[in-house]
Structure 1
Amino acid sequence: MIQTHSRSRLGIQYLILFVLGAVLAGAAELPFGGWIQVPILSVIWWQLTLVNDTSKKHGFLSGLIFGLGYFVFGLWWLYISLHDVGGMNVALSCMAVFLLSAYMALYFSLATLTLSLLHKSRLTGLFLAASWVLMEFLRGYVFTGFPWMGLAESQFNGPFAPIAPFFGGLACTFLVIWTSWKILQIKKHAVMSLMSIAAVITLSQLAGLMTFTKPIVEPITVRLIQGNFEQTLKFNPQAISQQIDFYVGEIKKEAANLIIIPETAFPWPQNNLPTGLLNYLQDFSNASKSNVLLGLIGDIPTNTGVQYTNRATGLSPNSPPYQFDKVHLVPFGEFIPPGFHWFVEAFRVPMSDFARGSIEQAPFSIKRSGQTDIHAAMTICYEDVFGGELASRVNNSEKPVNLLINMTNLAWFGKSQASSQQLRLSQLRSLETGLPALRATNTGITSVLGPDGKVLASLPEFTQANLSTQVQAYSGKTPYVRWGNFPILSISCILLIWGFIRYRRF
């Protein structure tokens, strides 16, 4: 009877953790979501400690269930791309979303094991924050990485965003975890906990008064073209021709220093595009003095045929074409992991296995008559989730980077929170680098971001429109661009080593 009651109580606690995980993910979509997530995490730590008190052997599973609730709610939109666009059957689509969420949740559960192993110390909050940072870092690298839905991007609307230019998104994550743990300790150590929380939030906000980049030259004119084409149309030859005609017509409507169309706006291999199309657009660039960035399918000749790439091609006045091939490819959508060809065959989408671009590709140079060139670091689609890599590219670039450009197509995911999630990622990247950003998207959210990540101009989602405005280029490097994740990873490793030495002693 006692054992049955214990199992029932444990089952309820698991259900509560799953729901709390979903609530934590949902809070990110709210105004001031980064602030709201902090007390929610405190409740989650409280529930996890209750489970550990019941039985420490369930600590790993409880963390996994919390993470599962978080990622199932946060990543459900992948079902749209698999089922609605890719034609995969319902059961397999649901299973794919569940398995990916479970894999992501593993990192959360490994991080929360700290509460089982190092729970008897007044420094538990620091150890938990350190383990969380290391797991989030690994989540961004293992199996090419998928660090989407981290706590860092939510902090753009939270208390610790001003830390990002100094130590990056992982440092924001560290402070979120530590602060949420300190809230849980208020009952035991009210004065010290409240003073610590107030001091950290105050210092974080004051850090926002410092700037590391500054405006240069005159603002440039930009036109961002949002086509709003359904993803299923990109596999229809007649619709492809209509999309190409639309974008060409929109590009020619008006000159600008920079005109950008979205990722794969020309959804056709470059060697199969209408004859003379790129030359025609190059002539427009020469005549109008406009720089034009095109999203298309690149092709690379090989001994065995042709390899395709997800490419941005740049046309500048009287200059050779520029090209940037996407570096971080989406698993299953853009490259096939070994042993998973059967899965991609069930996901009926052509060209699902692209070649990978080099990490050392040069920025795009925006040419202006008689004036200094402006250099823009490129990312395509979800590449802007990899903050450390972008910071490294900006720091190591031979040409000073003045602007960030992201070309993306989220039509795969329909009317979901995917677009707002990626917008927050782009905002965090601007904040980390101190550089403005241009986001040219197919269905939204097409926008211009300031060097502080704030939206300066944007288009409504799911509309066909142009965003014509100006953007101010910046120069300089933030501490995060110079140092990357090294400081916060070093601190986290030292803390965990210290914690486990203490654990072995006692």
Structure 2
Amino acid sequence: MLDSHSSKKLLSNHALVFLMLFILGILIALAAELPFGGWVQIPLLSLVWWRLSTLGTITLKKYFLLGLVFGLGYFVVGLWWLYISLHDVGGMNPLLSCMAVFLLSSYVALYFSVACLSIRLFKTSYLSGLLLASIWVVSEYLRGELFTGFPWMGFAESQVNGPFASIAPYLGGLACTFLAVYTSWQILQLKQHFLHYASTLLLVAFITFLASLWSFTKPIGEPLTVELIQGNFPQSMIFRPEGVLRQIQFYSTTMTQSDAELIIAPETAFSWPENDLPIGLLESLQHFSNDTNSNLLFGVIGRDPSSPSGREFSNRALGLLPSADPYRYDKNHLVPFGEFIPPGFHWFVNAFSVPLSDFARGGAEQANLMIRRKNQDPLYAAITICYEDVFGGELASRIRNNAEPTNLLINLTNLAWFGKSQAPAQQLRLSQLRSLETGLPALRATNTGITAVLGPNGKVLASLPEFTQATLSAKVQGYSGKTPYVIWGNFPILSISCLLLIWGIIRQRRF
């Protein structure tokens, strides 16, 4: 039995372990914002595995709590901008806003906790790194699927600035996560069997290098001239009558002053129901499109009083095309609490001011935007609105199943909800990952930033400074073809991970 002094020492040691893991979670989250964040995160993850693997035979409950504390440090820092939308913009009570951020961070940290348990449950062997990486992939996949999914702040998007970006076109972001976790574990083992683990690291590096030598999409047609409009309207005025009119005036005037083939304004640029917009506005924009052969795309509030769901409003992208019927895309993957209210949570939404917070959901397989061009074949663009570009598997499925080819990606976003935070940079990395996975260029038209043009390799080709009212003019090359990830989605990496876990469980029971 431990004496009083020994008990106090043990408790103190445990407290230091909890503190260390919490700080490591914070550092790994902060590392994502660095220019080479994907590289920096890997040795920091090695420290997490080292601390967890040297704790001896502590209880599963305590191990689970340690993983939870690590996840909390990571997500509280990574998602703190939600406080801005709830309190600063939505007017929610500060304590309730902090509690909401903490509870969401705790929920997503649970997936980290479950993944960390593999270090305790499986016997240490050459399989340990593979099993840790596999359970991490499965946990991250589930985080993106359960309760409508919230895969924000995974390790994958940091790899756009890391060593495993070239794997994304083959197996997607989850495979980047797999290799980041696996590599960080192998680095930890170098002190035990240097030659064995160094050789596996060299093999991973060689495979990654080989993967970078192939591309699966190729340029098609002449470059497209585009103009992206960044209005920089504060969220506090977006749904006020005077603010709505100012936005409509600015965006409509700016669009009609452009000579680009494709002109894009952000999500809810016209923050008013489409059928209630000022008389003659859409007609005049359609005439402009017909006369100049320009394609216009901008955000509006869709309205369908006969919607089967009983929700008549939708978050819509409206396209006005030369001598053609208007194009409409209604957002499919809605944000919980911001765009739809889960059953039993109306009290929470009522605690802060979010206009139109219960949208109708668009179809999962909507048509691409056809960009009409004079004396050239049209180009086809897959549209996403804001949060939708978090879900790589859904976008890959849309491209795979669409009747028309997809030549570029377009995302319309309004991140004014989150003020001066890291949220715009986080979403930019997610868009970069989507370009990597699909091998397609991307256009991002945002209200406050980051408005940008991305190449098919995910690199930022041009961008606007945040919180400025400006336009970004560029030439964008369309691409054709499908990457292995678009063809197969997450099936290969999930199959590999599940088979490895089954192998690990069988081996555990056998020995």
TM class by shorter-chain length?
over 0.9
Shift of 1:149: 0.3
Aligned match for 2:294, one of 290, 297, 309: 290
SS in 2 for 1:224: strand
Aligned match for 2:495, one of 478, 483, 490: 490
In the TM superposition, what are the counterparts of 1:122-201 in structure 2 within 5 Å? 122-201=126-205
Shift of 1:198: 1.9
Moved more, 135-144 or 46-55: 46-55
The 8 Å contact of residues 111 and 143 in structure 2, kept in 1 or not, is answered as yes
Q: Evaluate the alpha carbon distance shift between residue 255 and residue 116 of structure 1 in structure 2; reply closer, same or farther with a 3 A threshold.
A: same
Q: Distance in 1 between matches of 2:307 and 2:167?
A: 49
Aligned match for 1:253, one of 254, 257, 263: 257
Aligned to 2:216: 212
User: Does 1:467 find its partner at 2:476?
Assistant: no
Q: Distance in 1 between matches of 2:59 and 2:396?
A: 43
Aligned to 2:442: 437
Q: Distance in 2 between matches of 1:89 and 1:352?
A: 18
Superposed CA RMSD in Å reads 1.2
Shift of 1:56: 4.2
User: Does 1:402 find its partner at 2:407?
Assistant: yes
SS in 2 for 1:146: coil
Shift of 1:6: 1.1
Aligned match for 2:102, one of 74, 98, 104: 98
Aligned to 2:72: 68
Moved more, 233-242 or 86-95: 233-242
Q: Distance in 1 between matches of 2:208 and 2:79?
A: 30
SS in 1 for 2:151: coil
Task: After superposition, give the CA deviation of every residue in 1:483-506 in whole Å (9 maximum; x if it has no partner).
Answer: 111110000000111111122222
The 8 Å contact of residues 438 and 482 in structure 2, kept in 1 or not, is answered as yes
Q: Distance in 1 between matches of 2:312 and 2:52?
A: 49
Shift of 1:139: 0.5
Moved more, 47-56 or 182-191: 47-56
Aligned to 2:312: 307
Q: Distance in 1 between matches of 2:236 and 2:229?
A: 20
Task: After superposition, give the CA deviation of every residue in 1:332-359 in whole Å (9 maximum; x if it has no partner).
Answer: 0000011110000001121101011101
Aligned to 1:423: 428
Aligned to 1:59: 63
The 8 Å contact of residues 311 and 358 in structure 2, kept in 1 or not, is answered as no
Gap runs ≥5 in structure 2: none
Shift of 1:191: 1.2
Q: Distance in 2 between matches of 1:75 and 1:438?
A: 25
Aligned to 2:14: 10
The 8 Å contact of residues 164 and 180 in structure 2, kept in 1 or not, is answered as yes
Structure-1-length-normalised TM-score: 0.98
Q: Distance in 2 between matches of 1:52 and 1:425?
A: 38
Q: Distance in 2 between matches of 1:79 and 1:108?
A: 22
The 8 Å contact of residues 52 and 58 in structure 1, kept in 2 or not, is answered as no
Q: Evaluate the alpha carbon distance shift between residue 303 and residue 230 of structure 1 in structure 2; reply closer, same or farther with a 3 A threshold.
A: closer
Q: Evaluate the alpha carbon distance shift between residue 306 and residue 129 of structure 1 in structure 2; reply closer, same or farther with a 3 A threshold.
A: closer
Q: Distance in 1 between matches of 2:94 and 2:230?
A: 31
Structure-2-length-normalised TM-score: 0.97
Task: After superposition, give the CA deviation of every residue in 1:52-80 in whole Å (9 maximum; x if it has no partner).
Answer: 54444411111011001000000000000
Task: After superposition, give the CA deviation of every residue in 1:247-300 in whole Å (9 maximum; x if it has no partner).
Answer: 011001122110000000111111221112111111111111100001011011
In the TM superposition, what are the counterparts of 1:333-482 in structure 2 within 5 Å? 333-482=338-487
The 8 Å contact of residues 263 and 380 in structure 1, kept in 2 or not, is answered as yes
Q: How many residue pairs were aligned?
A: 506
Q: Distance in 1 between matches of 2:113 and 2:9?
A: 25
Q: Please tell me the residue identity of whatever aligns with 1:370.
A: N
Task: After superposition, give the CA deviation of every residue in 1:392-426 in whole Å (9 maximum; x if it has no partner).
Answer: 11111110100000000000000111011001100
Identity of aligned residues (%): 65
SS in 1 for 2:156: helix
Q: Please tell me the residue identity of whatever aligns with 2:25.
A: G
Q: Distance in 1 between matches of 2:158 and 2:124?
A: 30
The 8 Å contact of residues 10 and 51 in structure 1, kept in 2 or not, is answered as no
Task: After superposition, give the CA deviation of every residue in 1:355-396 in whole Å (9 maximum; x if it has no partner).
Answer: 111011000000012221100000000101100111111111
User: Does 1:116 find its partner at 2:120?
Assistant: yes
SS in 2 for 1:113: helix
Q: Distance in 2 between matches of 1:169 and 1:52?
A: 33
Q: Distance in 2 between matches of 1:359 and 1:45?
A: 39
SS in 2 for 1:338: coil
Task: After superposition, give the CA deviation of every residue in 1:462-489 in whole Å (9 maximum; x if it has no partner).
Answer: 1000001110000001111111111100
Aligned to 2:23: 19
Q: Evaluate the alpha carbon distance shift between residue 24 and residue 52 of structure 1 in structure 2; reply closer, same or farther with a 3 A threshold.
A: farther
Q: Distance in 1 between matches of 2:64 and 2:179?
A: 23
Q: Distance in 1 between matches of 2:58 and 2:341?
A: 43
SS in 2 for 1:297: strand
Aligned to 1:222: 226
Aligned match for 2:235, one of 226, 231, 252: 231
SS in 2 for 1:440: strand
Shift of 1:303: 7.2
